[in-house]
Chains A and B, each alone.
Chain A
Amino acid sequence: DIQMTQSPSSLSASVGDGVTITCRASLGISNYLAWFQQKPGKAPKSLIYAASSLQSGVPSKFSGSGSGTDFTLTISSLQPEDFATYYCQQYNSYPYTFGQGTKLEIK
């Protein structure tokens, strides 16, 4: 199985800041990488697919990059609604696997 490792596990930032979350795959997965946002008590929301493509309706403040084993999610100009937990997921091969999550908190 492909292991996905996110860093950091938690992150504190202020409104208006920009942040970057990293996701590393244990094997090369080309660009078959998605990012999800999850708020407490809610279902995950799809943000990005194919490493860098925004899902419909997702604001351009979210951006993704990477290929192979190393990927990043960048969020610019943080607003209160952006504070949540973020997960990466590989869909290169079954079983699909998620990173352990990065909790983004308000400083």
Chain B
Amino acid sequence: DSGVTQTPKHLITATGQRVTLRCSPRSGDLSVYWYQQSLDQGLQFLIQYYNGEERAKGNILERFSAQQFPDLHSELNLSSLELGDSALYFCASSLRGQPIETQYFGPGTRLLVL
């Protein structure tokens, strides 16, 4: 158990809908990362937050947004969903978001868009 929790574990929805994925980092970690894992794209970095502020952005679509709240949990919002958004979404956390730190991964949320 990494100490990172993600809810829900599974999500099935329809095209055009909007969903919210939630992540709670390890106790004491200030930085949260979101990754998408799909068969065709592999593991791709989406976005990083540090203590409530956006720190880095990757290949995140404009239909996707995220935020980190004062209690340090984070949410990833996916809107106008398309079939191609079906993937496993991971949240990871680290202490201060420094490159040398280990990122601890949650179990993921599996999203299926029908």
A and B together in one complex: no
Residues of chain B having any CB pair with chain A under 8 Å: none
Residues of chain A having any CB pair with chain B under 8 Å: none
